[in-house]
Structure 1
Amino acid sequence: MYPVLFHIGDWPIHSFGVMLSLGILSGLLVSCYVAKRQGRYLAEVVDLAFYAIVGGIIGARLWEVAFTWDYYSYNPGQIVAIWNGGLSVQGAVLGGLLAVVWYSRRNSIPFWPMADTLAPGLLMGQAVGRMGCFLNGCCFGIPHSFGVAYPVGSDANFIFGSQKLFPAVLFEAGWDILVLALLLKIFTKKPFDGFIALSYFILYSVGRFTIEFWRGDSLRTIMDFKVAQLTSIITIIVSVALMVYLANASKGHRDQQC
């Protein structure tokens, strides 16, 4: 792993920070592409980016700190050290989502069409960001014959030694790219506003729930499930319910027009 890519003088350039920045940039470019392609919301996407990024980073860190408070309560100085990793994807999505809701209401923009526009970019950002997790040596998997050995000094090596560990985050990045390709392909054929965003929530959560079985660093909770798995289940249920509601609402609106 390469937690530090290089130094500029005495200043270390962390791989996680570099990939996080590239993830944000690539995600913004994808969302701008989608907005331009559909002929609306391009200026709004650019304007919203700052708020969504800030909300996402704050949400990602708060989520991580909340669920690993045993560590951060004794190391409060590490709470702001996001360059060392420790940003939850699910927390980032929640924080960014709240920022989008706030921005949409503040500027009288329909929420679901905007969410559809942003969802593909979010997937791109997640995929690139997961590469940063891999380089940083965090979010490691369980011992597996198909895997990579983490260097001495890493958390993975401290827990599992020199065993090969399943590269869970790389598979998650690959899943993100596959879902991104699917959503871009069906974007112009979506049956109602919100379909793309809710499809993202469902498909990402299915992948995350599955990959968590091969994660070696996740917190466990009731019935031996992991926090991310329970969150994924809740997300899927809520998203399916919203999809049914929006589909019926869209059908009712079309019937009224007829």
Structure 2
Amino acid sequence: MLTFPHIDPIAFRIGPLAVHWYGITYLVAFGLFMLLATRRLKHEPFASIQGPGAWSRRDIDDMLFLGVLGVIVGGRLGYCLFYKPGYYATHPLEVFAVWQGGMSFHGGMLGVIASQLWFAHSRGKPFWQVMDFIAPCVPLGLAAGRVGNFINGELWGRLADPSLPWGMVFPQAGPQPRHPSQVYQFLMEGLLLFILLWLYARRERREGQVAAAFLVGYGFFRFVAEFFREPDSYLLWLQQQTGLSMGQWLCVPMMAAGVVLWLWARRRAPVVPATTGRTSRA
């Protein structure tokens, strides 16, 4: 049995400004996206597209900027709508109080999808080509976020058998050992999903299939991890009545959408990179 190592959530201070580790993990996530997306420019079909529609470093900068907005806006709205709709319906101004915490991955994902739909339209790029480009670059950023959750000692797991070697006592969760669910999510939704997606995307795929693989892969790993993660106290009733947590219920349509998208993409004709900046169907 392990004891949670007390880590000051504040990494350092600059005068009155306190820099938190959680904020640093967000910066690391954005940096990892830039690094991986730059490598992705050399992969097919993106490397072969020429002309006005060719992929460039500027596209990465713009996608990241829009993606950050999508994560913040979508993540916050998703948390308010999915997890505490009643509370925020009666306290609407607190929707903007992001410093109080409360972000939803599924809401952030919807925000990113909306932002990249705008990006694809403004650049004249096929939407699913954009999503296929982004998908393998995301999981390591998610892994960085789970490191931030662990440092903060939040989102701990459910009670574990005292004999579990890696069971951990989180001071804010009582004296009983718990599953370090942040570590499970770091390994599954972050590292493992990245490896699988990166390898899957290196081979020729139909447009939309890499994005579909992300939806299914993340949904599956998150669904499994939720069995070890302590449900939010205000949503414990959902777990007790249905046997599934809110996170799991949100993953069900995500996985279903991924399967439908993958099958739909499989039926489409393969995309042949064009030298005019557009893609053509074979």
Aligned partner (choices 171, 182, 185) of residue 196 of structure 2: 182
Partner Cα distance (1:123, 1:83) in 2: 25
Larger CA deviation: 205-214 vs 26-35: 26-35
Question: Is the Cα–Cα contact under 8 Å of residues 131 and 208 in structure 2 kept in the other structure?
Answer: yes
**Residues of 2 paired with 1:170 and 1:243: CA distance?**
29
Matched to 1:194, the amino acid is G
TM-score computed with the length of structure 2 as normaliser: 0.79
Which of these residues, 155, 158, 170, is aligned with residue 150 of structure 1?
170
Structure 2 residues not aligned, in runs of 5+: 1-6, 48-53, 273-280
User: What secondary structure is seen at the aligned counterpart in 2 of 1:5?
Assistant: strand
Which segment is superposed worse, 182-191 or 52-61?
Answer: 182-191
C-alpha contact 1:52 1:99 (8 A) present in aligned 2: yes
1:197-212 alignment, distance < 5 Å? 197-212=211-226
Percent of pairs with identical residues: 25
2: distance between equivalents of 1:83 and 1:18? 15
Q: Distance in 1 between matches of 2:115 and 2:170?
A: 36
Cα offset for 1:70? 5.7
How far apart are the structure 1 equivalents of 2:245 and 2:126?
35
Task: Using the TM superposition, give the Cα deviation of residue 103 of structure 1 relative to its aligned residue in structure 2, in angstroms.
Answer: 1.3
Give 1:103's aligned residue.
119
1:216 correspondence with 2:230 = yes
The match for 1:165 is: 178
Equivalent-residue separation in structure 2 for 1:48 and 1:251 (angstroms): 25
Separation in 1 of the partners of 2:13 and 2:108?
Answer: 28
Residue pairs, 1:124-135, within 5 angstroms: 124-135=140-151
Task: Tell me which residue corresponds to 2:33.
Answer: 27
Which structure would you say has the larger RCO, counting Cα contacts within 8 Å and 6 or more residues apart?
Answer: 2
Letter in 2 for 1:239: G
* Counterpart residue number, 2:50: none
Aligned CA distance change for structure 1 residues 139 and 190 (closer, same or farther; 3 Å): farther
Is contact 2:128-2:208 (8 Å) kept?
Answer: yes
Higher alpha-carbon deviation: 80-89 or 92-101: 80-89
Give me the whole-angstrom Cα distance separating, in 2, the residues matched to 1:100 and 1:125.
Answer: 17
Instruction: Name 1:57's counterpart in structure 2.
Output: 72
Q: How many residues align?
A: 248
Structure 1 CA distance for aligned equivalents of residues 271 and 97 of structure 2: 50
Q: Which has the higher helix share?
A: 1
Q: Is 1:172–1:211's contact at 8 Å kept on the other side of the alignment?
A: yes
2:133 maps to which of 117, 138, 155: 117
The question of whether the paired residues in 2 share the 8 Å contact of 1:16 and 1:83 is answered with no
Give the direction of change, closer, same or farther, for the CA distance of 1:63–1:10 in structure 2 (3 Å limit): same
**SS of the residue aligned with 2:13?**
strand
Map of 1:48 onto structure 2? 63
Moved more, 53-62 or 182-191: 182-191
Report the structure number with the largest CA radius of gyration. Answer: 2
